[in-house]
Amino acid sequence: ESPKHNTEEKLEKVCHLLDQEISYFNWTGFYFKNGDKEELKLGPYVGAPTDHTIIPYGKGICGQVAVSNETFVVPDVHEESNYLSCSIDTKAEIVVPIFKDGKNIGQIDIDSHTINPFTDEDRELLEWLCNEVSKIL
């Protein structure tokens, strides 16, 4: 079993745990920088399949976080002009960057079917989690 495979399995487990434990997390997945390209590539996720498997830096909430290096909490996606819709059921989104050796190498992305669901605790949990995840990358 290759180390890469092992890492992907762990990330998938993280997605499943979050999906199971928090009722208003309705799509949970990872995006990572795609090699040397200025784009994100979809990694392990739990939820409905998405068309957005590649996202250029700057595009959508995910692409903006790739550039800003900051957590982006969107209480209501309909208020955002630079947003990529994956599902008509999605009402809110949170994206938290993942840093390795000080570089923004990816992110966790969570969609919710509930408006304004994300608490400060969710944000803190996800920022802690991204820090933990970066240790296995």
Q: Reduce the DSSP state of residue 114 to 3 states and report it.
A: coil
d(CA 126, CA 68): 17
- Are 114 and 24 contacting, i.e. CB atoms less than 8 angstroms apart? yes
d(CA 64, CA 32): 13
Q: Does 46 bind ligand SME (CB under 6 A)?
A: no
Q: Does 84 bind ligand SME (CB under 6 A)?
A: yes
| Token pair recorded at residue 65 | 């976080």
Q: Does 109 bind ligand SME (CB under 6 A)?
A: yes
Bridge-partner residues for 107, per DSSP? Answer: 31, 97
Nearer to ligand SME, 84 or 129 (CB): 84
Task: In angstroms, give the least distance from the CB of 10 to ligand SME.
Answer: 20
Which residue in 19, 33, 46, 93 binds ligand SME (CB under 6 A)? 93
Nearer to ligand SME, 2 or 81 (CB): 81
Q: Does 32 bind ligand SME (CB under 6 A)?
A: no
Q: Does 19 bind ligand SME (CB under 6 A)?
A: no
